[in-house]
Structure 1
Amino acid sequence: MLISSLFIVGTIGIFRRYIPLSSALLAFFRGLIGSVSLLAFIKLRRTETWEGMGVKKFAGLIINGAFLGINWILLFEAFNYTTIAKATLCYYMQPTIVLMLSPLVFKEKLTAKKIVCALVALAGMIFVSGVVSMNVVQEEDLKGILFGLGAACFYAMVVILNKKITDVDAYQKTIIQLISAAVVLVPYLVITGQFKAIVFNGRLVLLLLIVGIIHTGVVYALYFGSMSGLKAQTISILSYIDPVVAMIVSALILGERMTLWEIIGAVLIIGSAIVSEQEPKKIRFSTKFRQ
């Protein structure tokens, strides 16, 4: 189930390319449809009632939902400006960001191994950016790279805050954040008049349902459903199927070929993240599942 969910996530960039909506609108519909579909799944599969939580935890989840929504917007914008492979690899700098912040927020020791892994990931990012192969980064590419890194920063905040919100059911936590991601965008979408500009047709509705139900509701259900049978370290390593699928799909469907330097950069980013996670006390699977 885990591998299936990660294969699905790796294709979201392709669908974004064919949805003629702003990134904010797409993030809104993804949160709305995703939360409804995941809630329906829980109602069908589970009978227990949700446990209550304190105001502090609930507020934290709402804030995290806002971060999640912003993260989606930035990621969708990255897909608009650069290749899906580059956007996804920039997004996968998130583990490195969390790694470097761990001494501050989790009081974890930053070992020599972690520092080396972070430096290797940064070197990989330079290769992926195109600076090495082209000596200069195209303006559109640069925008996409910055949006991707911005998305990684916001997802790092989601990971950190989720790590601090304990003793809350994973499904319950996710649904609250998905709903919050959609709700916090409503004022902005109303003020900017984006709801009025939507022209629905069969194709658009189908694509939104796929992104909301398949890429969000079904993916989260498969992901959480696989946790009990796998070790956290195994989940962490398998999670890197996502960017590999994104690179392959973008090359096959969109013809977005990667240069040799970009491939080397991809190996450095993914490889350094995997190596850095070979410790039992490393931040667990909740840090890895992103798009």
Structure 2
Amino acid sequence: MEARSGLTRAAIMLSAGMAISGTAGLFSIESGQPTLNVIFFRCVFGAIALVGWTCLREGWKSLFITQRALWPLVLVSGVCLVLNWLALFEAFKLTSIGFATIIYHLQPFWIVLTGALLLKERLSRDRLGWICVAFLGLILTIIPKLGVMRADHDWLIGVGLALVASLFYAATTLTTRAVKTVKPSVLSAIHCLIGIVVFAPFVDLTALQGAGNGMWGWLVGLGVIHTGVVYILLYSSYPRLPITVIAAGSFLNPVAALLSDFFVFGRSISAMQGAGLILILLAGLAVNLGWPFGFGSARRVAPSQES
């Protein structure tokens, strides 16, 4: 019973983190800053929030990773994360927040595929079925935009960047799962520090001249809320959850992004996209609550083994 309660708590944390993260595109666009500036200051304010949180909860000594064998994975996961931000935030500008986020959420399928083929994780038929339902919902949300993609080359570039971002984020998730001994807040803080180092040479200082308090408000929010709060929630839940639950829960992110597009920028959602969103929500809820898929008893499906 205690283990089930812990799994439920982790699933709730994952869902909350993913839903909040879906509004990151809104903050980045509203800041009015170039993408490299947005990412740099996200890392700065995110690092401040995460280091402060860790020092208050665990003490400053917890910020140091003593196991040298973990550093390569920590560095790889951090680089993948900040490159993921770079590609995704630029995709927001070239397409739209909602559409880029939808394409970006091909990443759960890279995670599931990698988990099955490389990590030899066993997948139940029920969860595989619900993942397929979510994939169908994803397709339904993309179809109405196909015509726009053919006419606008920026849209095509944006789609490509969103796809690249999804690959980087999948790599971040998998490498993060391999460093479970590192506290989530410490890992997130190190990732932000890596981002500061990587993007500091590319900050456009002229774009900051004459910027009002509103711009700084969006950037601080992006760092504190979408990096500090969200990554504490996500990295606290990842080690406690199987890959399929992470994949399904992450679909809450595009729902929040599409709603941001609708209520803030007036970009309407078509009936087909609405149907896709319903399928995505249904699949995420079903996996988190352990609903059976179809009829018959649940069976375990192991990844194929070829000699």
What does 1:186-197 correspond to in 2, within 5 Å?
Answer: 186-187=200-201, 189=202, 194-197=204-207
Is 1:249 the counterpart of 2:263? The answer is no
Partner of 2:95: 82
- Quote the offset at 1:274 in angstroms: 5.9
C-alpha distance 81-55 of structure 1, shift in aligned 2 (>3 A) = same
Partner of 1:289: none
Partner of 1:185: 199
- The one of 63, 70, 74 equivalent to 2:83 is 70
- The one of 178, 202, 205 equivalent to 2:213 is 202
Identity across the alignment (%):
25
Is 1:32 the counterpart of 2:25? The answer is no
After superposition, the C-alpha distances for 1:112-155 in whole angstroms (9 at most, x for unaligned) are: 66766666555444433336874964424333332222211110
The one-letter code of the counterpart of 2:39 is: A
- In the superposition, the TM-score normalised over structure 1's length comes to 0.77
2:155 partner SS: helix
Is 1:165 the counterpart of 2:175? The answer is no
Kept after mapping to 1: 8 A contact 2:148/2:155 = no
Partner of 1:258: 269
- Quote the offset at 1:106 in angstroms: 0.7
Is 1:10 the counterpart of 2:22? The answer is yes
- The one of 63, 68, 72 equivalent to 1:59 is 72
Partner of 2:222: 211
Partner of 2:303: none
C-alpha distance 276-94 of structure 1, shift in aligned 2 (>3 A) = farther
Moved more, 60-69 or 143-152: 143-152
- In the superposition, the TM-score normalised over structure 2's length comes to 0.74
- Quote the offset at 1:36 in angstroms: 1.2
Distance 1:79 1:159 in 2: 21
C-alpha distance 73-160 of structure 1, shift in aligned 2 (>3 A) = same
Distance 2:127 2:234 in 1: 27
Partner of 1:43: 55
Instruction: State how many pairs are aligned.
Output: 274
Distance 1:24 1:120 in 2: 36
Distance 1:35 1:235 in 2: 28
**Structure 1 gap segments, 5+ residues each:** 282-291
Moved more, 46-55 or 146-155: 46-55
Kept after mapping to 1: 8 A contact 2:94/2:158 = yes
2:66 partner SS: coil
| Root mean square deviation of aligned Cα | 3.6
- Quote the offset at 1:232 in angstroms: 3.9
**Structure 2 gap segments, 5+ residues each:** 1-11, 291-297, 301-307
C-alpha distance 221-104 of structure 1, shift in aligned 2 (>3 A) = closer
Report the structure number with the largest CA radius of gyration. Answer: 2
Kept after mapping to 1: 8 A contact 2:107/2:169 = yes
